[in-house]
Amino acid sequence: MSFDYGLHSGRLLRRDQLPDELGDGRRVYEVMRLIDSKILYLEEHLKRLEGSLRFHAPEFSLEAGTLYKDLTGLIRRAGEDHCNLRLEATLVKGRLEYTATLLEGHYPDEAMKKEGVALESYEYQRKDPLVKVVDQSYKEKVGAFIEARGIYEALLTHNGIVTEGSRSNIFFIKEGRVYSPREEDILSGITRRNLLAFLAGEKIPLVRGDIPLADIGGFEGAFLSGTSIHVLAVRTIDESSYDPDLPLFRRIESGFAKWVADSLKKTPAL
């Protein structure tokens, strides 16, 4: 794999030539997945990026066609067809400034998919849940927590209420229903949005609402959704254990894999 190059506002540069910082404004970002030389959910990611920037500058409009052309040039130069793409952006006097880099994705192995993964709760509240903002301090703290505990992911909570994973969204299963935290409290991932559309199409009941951390032991199953994982079973959260082989979860897992494959068929190759 070759990840030696990146983009800085349209200029193709070596990674060591990319700036460490973008202007002095708040940076927003998107992480996308490249599969078979196609960027999965590209249009949705760019729309959310534009929305995040408009949160700070309502008049801003993203030139998506130009940005897409630049990203295509980076991917072709690197010669990659399976990896992640990270795009960070800010506004400097109303003008878009950005960096884009290709990253080796950390995807679940077969054991994780079969047995599920371990999570532990972590108290944290996003300042602006609807905006995907770069927060280096948070990233370092939660990363240290995950490493110290030897777990796959941290489950964020606030005032005793479950919100989301530190880099994913969380769902629970009970009696044939899927349960999700309220959208107002979370960063709703692009994968999550597609998963909700899939659940609706399959007529799988979805219950949205507050999920107290104290009550999570009453669920039969739990799973995550995210860019690198699509959907992934959860084995444990703190002291609570879940069945990764629940028929409903395995139905969601296999059905959503087909949804992703169908989405890729509709996406033009770079």
Q: pLDDT tens digits, residue range 5-23?
A: 999 999 999 998 998 777 6
Length of the chain: 270
| Lowest mean pLDDT, pick from 25-29, 170-174, 209-213 | 25-29
Report the C-alpha gap between 171 and 147 in whole angstroms: 23
Q: What is the pLDDT of residue 167?
A: 93
Domain ranges of the chain: 5-103, 110-264
Q: pLDDT tens digits, residue range 98-156?
A: 999 999 888 999 999 999 999 999 999 887 776 788 888 899 999 999 999 999 999 99
Percent of the chain scored above 70 by pLDDT? Answer: 97
Q: Given phi > 0 = left and psi -120 to 50 = alpha, else beta, which region is 61?
A: beta
pLDDT above 90 for 47: yes
Residues 28, 134 contacting (CB under 8 angstroms): yes
Percent of the chain scored above 90 by pLDDT? Answer: 78
pLDDT above 80 for 83: yes
Asked whether the domain spanning 110-264 has the same topology as the one spanning 5-103, the reply is no
H or E element, residue 207: strand 206-208
Long-range Cβ contacts of 159-165 (<8 Å, 24+ apart): 160/212, 160/213, 160/214, 161/185, 161/210, 161/211, 161/212, 161/213, 162/121, 162/211, 162/212, 162/213, 162/216, 163/125, 163/126, 163/129, 165/119, 165/224, 165/226
pLDDT above 60 for 214: yes
Report the C-alpha gap between 100 and 102 in whole angstroms: 7
Residue 133 DSSP label: B
Q: Between 190-201 and 42-54, two packed helices, what is the crossing angle to 10 degrees?
A: 120
The alpha carbon of residue 3 and the mean position of all alpha carbons in its chain are separated, in whole angstroms, by: 21
Topology classification of domain 110-264: D-amino Acid Aminotransferase; Chain A, domain 2 (3.20.10)
Mean pLDDT of 176-187: 93
| Lowest mean pLDDT, pick from 34-38, 84-88, 117-121 | 34-38
pLDDT above 50 for 84: yes
Residues 185, 158 contacting (CB under 8 angstroms): yes
Q: What is the pLDDT of residue 132?
A: 83
CATH of domain 5-103: 3.30.470.10
Q: Cα Rg for the chain, rounded, in angstroms?
A: 19
Q: What is the pLDDT of residue 18?
A: 92
Q: pLDDT tens digits, residue range 146-177?
A: 999 999 999 999 999 999 999 999 999 999 99
Q: What is the pLDDT of residue 1?
A: 45
| Lowest mean pLDDT, pick from 58-72, 147-161, 239-253 | 58-72
